[in-house]
Amino acid sequence: MARLTVNGRAVEFKLDPATPLLWALRDVANLTGTKYGCGEGDCGACMVLIEGQALRSCLVTLADAEGRTVTTIEGLSADRSHPVQQALVAEQAIQCGFCTPGIAIAAAALLARNADPTAEDIAAAVPNLCRCGVYPRLVRAIQRAGRVARQTETISAAPAPGITPRDAARAVPAMKGN
């Protein structure tokens, strides 16, 4: 049994301690924003913050996470107002969206320690794979988010989301057949 804090809430997982954190988050906690990509730590789709550090949740076991604080994409901001989330939308740095949660988490960790990153800083701190190839826009978005974090710029172009993260994480009720 592993006890940890996920998105500000105390959670107890009654699972094998060797279970990857990714599966506990997705399958038990219904936090499906954390994506399964490769399962080997190469792609970064499953990135979460653990004690503020961006880590691949497919490589972290529940035993490793015991007693620690975990933040998933759902916990980055309750209303998607985090500067990284807003800048990714404003810079049109999202295409298919599959890799976006992991990228947003890695970028948030970078900006927490360096709010004025260079393109090289971003490449080193955000190693996520994006099959759509939006890397130049990602760099612009992360640098823009840094300016927002430093309060030298604001973003008003990013629209409000159409569904709340809380509603998006709820199970969809079964539909009755005709």
> How do residues 107-153 score in pLDDT, each as one tens digit?
999 999 999 999 999 999 999 999 999 999 999 999 999 999 999 99
Q: Which two tokens stand for residue 46?
A: 């499953």
Supply the CATH classification number for the domain 2-76.
3.10.20.30
What is the phi/psi pair of residue 144, to 5°?
-65, -40
What's residue 1's pLDDT?
86
pTM of the full structure: 0.86
Q: What's the sign of the alpha-carbon dihedral 51, 56, 57, 60? A: negative
Residues β-bridged to residue 5: 10, 69
Helix (H, G, I), strand (E, B) or coil at 139: helix
| Structure-model confidence comparison of residues 161 and 5, the more confident one | 5
Report the alpha-carbon distance of residue 14 to residue 1 in Å, rounded. 5
**pLDDT, tens digit, for every residue of 148-173?**
999 999 987 555 556 665 665 554 45
Domain boundaries, the chain: 2-76, 83-149
Mean per-residue pLDDT over the chain, rounded: 90
Q: Which two tokens stand for residue 134?
A: 């939006």
Task: Kindly state the percentage of the chain with pLDDT values over 90.
Answer: 78
What's residue 158's pLDDT?
52
Supply the CATH classification number for the domain 83-149.
1.10.150.120
What's residue 155's pLDDT?
87
